Amino acid sequence: MLTERLDQIEKRYHEIQNLLMDPKVSSDIKKLTELSKESRSLEKTVEIYQEYKKALEDLEGLKEMVKESEGEIREMAELELEEVTLKVPTLEEELHVLLIPKDPNDEKNVIVEIRGAAGGDEGNIFAGDLARMYFKFAESKGWKVEVLYADVAEAGGYSQIEFQVSGDAVYSYMKYESGVHRVQRVPATESQGRIHTSTATVLVVPEAEELDFEIDLDDVRVDTFCSSGPGGQSVNTTKSAVRLTHEPTGTVVQCQDGKSQHENKASALKILRSRLYDKMLQEKLDKEGEERKSKIGTGDRSEKIRTYNYPQNRITDHRINFTIQQLDRIIDGRLDPVIEALIAEEQKRKLQKEEE
């Protein structure tokens, strides 16, 4: 069963390689993009499968060698046989994980919205800390960040910031960040050294292309206004900022960080399309019910997902009961230990579901 599925994947991968060399395909940008994406999604599975087949061949050859040889050659063959015998189940396990159905959005870029929530100024300051954490994480991955909208808070941080993160399989990492993030620390404004608890909300949505979700522009009201800085004061006199309202759903998006009204409208449409696409995905998940429980990154958006405890240098992810005493490193963008734990748990849940 395992090898049958893998043979099909390998066959499809080779078909795609041949199609990519076809001049008709290379002149069709849409087809070329689709095939390149599919090729990238199959590449690792094919590589591991080829390694697995070679290990099985080596296993048979080494068994024969042990039977037929003597002395030093036999000893060397026995050592190699032991090594390959351990390698085969490891590769098998890796292939099982690679065959878990993937989230079709994993390869996409994302749009992230962070808002200061409970805690007033401290909630906004924490929203700024989270934004900086994601910027540094993106930098470590070689991703590009583009700020689409920022409402800078007077005390520091942001009451709201939206940015796009572009790169290789961004959503597969960032999808786990949606939810309420809680911070426990002594605010800079606190004179008596008391620990306060504040929150910020994070929403991560896959960037939707026109192929994913088409907006009827007749349903969108466009308002223009002057860009504003901290405290709401106007920072220019031209109406370059844009607010879009999708009237059927009441979804509102605004952008003011671009150089022109045209640029802001394009960014706002990008956010609006992604928000509506995400809304459609959430509704689909609600209908699927049980399926939602195995998707850690797309659970209840109002759920408290993580606590950042500064006095104890501790981060706890409540969804998987994961705690690590490395808050200073993680808030500095080194998020990998937390995200790797979330990915491992989700894979475990999906494997269990596959076996049921």
Residue 137, domain extent: 110-350
Same structural domain, 66 and 136: no
Same structural domain, 87 and 114: no
Any domain includes 345: yes
Same structural domain, 236 and 308: yes
Any domain includes 356: no
Give the model's pLDDT for residue 297: 58
Give the model's pLDDT for residue 231: 45
Same structural domain, 209 and 231: yes
Same structural domain, 74 and 143: no
Q: 247: which 2 tokens? A: 């009237």
Any domain includes 295: yes
Same structural domain, 84 and 232: no
Any domain includes 309: yes
Give the model's pLDDT for residue 232: 46
Between the alpha carbon of residue 76 and those of residues 52, 56, 59, 81, 96, the distances in Å are 21, 18, 14, 9, 31
End position of a domain, from candidates 46, 74, 98: 98
Same structural domain, 94 and 121: no
Same structural domain, 73 and 119: no
Any domain includes 150: yes
Same structural domain, 77 and 207: no
Any domain includes 268: yes
Domain total in the chain: 2
* CATH code where residue 172 lies: 3.30.70.1660
Positions in the chain whose pLDDT score sits under 50: 230-235
Same structural domain, 281 and 335: yes
Any domain includes 256: yes
Give the model's pLDDT for residue 24: 86
* CATH code where residue 31 lies: 1.20.58
End position of a domain, from candidates 98, 131, 164: 98
Which amino acid would we find at residue 355?
E
Q: 77: which 2 tokens? A: 């063959």
Encode pLDDT of 146-190 as tens digits.
888 888 888 888 998 999 999 988 999 999 999 999 999 988 766
Which amino acid would we find at residue 264?
N
pTM: 0.73
Any domain includes 355: no
Same structural domain, 79 and 146: no
Give the model's pLDDT for residue 355: 63
Same structural domain, 277 and 180: yes
End position of a domain, from candidates 69, 98, 127: 98
